[in-house]
Structure formats: C-alpha cells, structure tokens
Amino acid sequence: MDLKQHIRQVPDFPKPGILFYDISTLLAHPDAWQETVRQLEATVQPEQPDILAGIESRGFLVAAPLALQLGLGFVMVRKQGKLPGPNVPYTYDLEYGQDTIEIQEGAIQPGQRVIVLDDLLATGGTMSASVELIRKIGGDVRGCACIIELSFLNGRDKLDVPVTSLIRFES
C-alpha cells in the first residue's frame, strides 16, 4: 500500500507559504492506518524498547496505538504547562526564540529503552529536544520514528540516533 497517497497536502496552512502535510486522511482510512501501525511496529520492535514516547500532539496518535500493539507503555512529551504534577523541563532554541517541553517526573525510569515518535520530522528541533529531555531523566533513547519526513529540511541531521520515516517528501 502506498501510504503517501493518504497524506493530504494543504497549501497556506497555518499561514501563507506553508505547505501542511495532513495525516487526518491517513487516520480516517482504516486499512492505511493499520498498515502504518504495522510498518512502525516492524521498525520499532527490533530495538526492543521498554516504553514509547510521543511528541505533542500528533505524536500521541502515532505512539499510543503502537505502544498498545507492542504491549508497551506510552509517555507524553508536551509543551510546558500542559502536564499535571511534577515535571522535568527542557528548553531549546528555535529559529527565533526558545521553547520548552516537559515530561512527567518518573514517567521513564533510568536505563529504560525508549523510542521517540511523532507524525512528522521537519527541521528536527522538537525531536532532538525530546531525545535530550529523555536522556536528562536517564532514558536510553534507541531511535526515533515518524510517519512523514520532509527530508529537504535535513531534520535527521540534528539527531544522533537512528531515524525511521515511512514516507519521505524530497521537496
């Protein structure tokens, strides 16, 4: 199945000049969505993760069903102020400014093998920050995976772990 056929491209969203790659159409197609989870499972399983981490918010849609399929736990990496309880923050630089992501204290135990998931890898900033945050709390990040990679933005160059993408857009 060509999963790329199930990705809708929306021009000028969220602002003029941006081409948005929408996974909603993939999620709405049961066979394509099941195939996506199957392919991610085949990619992630050899790394023998103990837990999966999903990046807010579409990464939750990717990581949660995959964790269920693999019989693993799932943790959320969220923007600052979105998680209850004590959290561990990580602040990183953006093109113009900074952003902070968080994970709940104790969500990942030191030494646990982790795969970080998101729907899309673009510039790699948030995924790289998520890897560093998980390392900060003692997680052993074995790799990252996503549905879509915008390879022309070279996001994987910011990551020092293996990266798998199911669909690549070259321009």
Active site residues: 58, 95
DSSP at 6: G
Characterize the bridge pairing of strands 140-150 and 113-121: parallel
Q: Which of 42, 9, 11, 43 is nearest to 26 (CA)?
A: 9
